[in-house]
Chain A
Amino acid sequence: MSTSASPVAAAQVIRPRGPSAFRRFARHRLAALSLVLILSLTLACIIVPPLLPFSDTEIDIMQRFAGPFTGPHLLGTDPLGRDTLARLLMAGRISLSVGFSAMAISMVIGIAVGLYAGFYGGRIGAILMRFVDAMLCFPSIFLLLAISAFLQPSVGSIIMLIAATSWMEVARLVEAQIRALRARDFAVAARAIGANDRRVMFRELLPNAVAPIVVAATLNVAHAILAESYISFLGYGIQPPTPSWGNMLENAQSYLTSAPWLAIIPGAAITLAVTGFNFIGDGLRDALDPRQEAR
Chain B
Amino acid sequence: MEDGTVLDVRNFSVNFGILPAVRDVSFTLRPGETLALVGESGSGKSVTSLGILKLTPPVPFCRIEGQALLRTRKGAVVDLVQASAEEMRGLRGREAAMIFQEPMTSLNPVHPVGAQVGEALRFHQGLSKRAALAQAAELLDLVGIPDARRRLGAFPHELSGGMRQRVMIALALACEPVLLIADEPTTALDVTIQAQILELLQRLQQKTRMAVLFITHNLGVVAEIADRVMVMYAGRVVEQAPVRRLFHAPLMPYTRGLLRSVPRPDFSGAEQPPLEAIPGSVPDPLAPPPGCSFSPRCGHFSPGLCDSVAPPLTHAEPGHLVRCARWADVAGAA
Contacts and interface: CB of A to CB of B under 8 A. Distances in A.
Contact of A192 (B58, B98, B141, B158): B98
A6 B123 contact: no
Contacts of A204: 108
B107 interface: yes
B109 A208 contact: yes
A193 B172 contact: yes
Main secondary structure of the interface of A (DSSP, over half): loop
A185 B46 CA distance: 13
B105 A12 contact: no
Contacts of A258: none
Given A191-B55, A193-B93, A195-B123, A7 B98 contact: no
Interface in A100-157: 121-122
A74 B89 CA distance: 67
A12 B159 contact: yes
A47 interface: no
A70 interface: no
B158 A15 contact: yes
Given A8-B145, A186-B108, A194 B58 contact: no
Contacts of B89: 194-196
B162 interface: yes
Given A8-B163, A12-B163, A183 B146 contact: no
B128 interface: no
Interface in A1-43: 1-2, 4-10, 12-13, 15-16
Contacts of B228: none
Contacts of B144: 4-6, 8
Given A8-B162, A13-B147, A295-B157, A194 B94 contact: yes
Nearest to A184: B105
B98 A189 contact: yes
B37 interface: no
A68 to B, nearest CB: 50
Contacts of B124: 194
Contact of B174 (A186, A193, A293): A193
Given A7-B146, A12-B159, A192 B196 contact: no
Interface string A177-212: 000000111101111111110000001100110100
Contacts of A184: 105
Interface residues of A, number: 36
Interface in A201-226: 203-204, 207-208, 210
Looking at chain B, what size class is its interface with the partner chain?
35 or more
A124 to B, nearest CB: 13
B302 interface: no
Nearest to A6: B196
Contacts of A9: 160
Contacts of B159: 12
A186 B172 contact: no
A294 interface: yes
B203 A4 contact: yes
Contacts of B102: 185
Contacts of B55: 188, 191-192
7 closest A-B pairs (Cβ-Cβ)?
A: A193-B93, A5-B144, A194-B93, A185-B106, A295-B157, A193-B120, A192-B98
Interface of B: 50, 53, 55, 57-58, 60, 89-94, 97-98, 100-102, 105-111, 119-120, 123-124, 141, 144-147, 150, 157-160, 162-163, 168, 171-172, 174, 196, 199-200, 202-203
Interface of A: 1-2, 4-10, 12-13, 15-16, 121-122, 183-186, 188-196, 203-204, 207-208, 210, 293-295
21 contacts: A1-B199, A4-B200, A6-B144, A8-B146, A12-B160, A16-B158, A185-B100, A186-B105, A188-B106, A189-B100, A189-B106, A189-B171, A190-B108, A191-B55, A192-B92, A192-B172, A193-B92, A194-B89, A194-B93, A208-B108, A295-B109
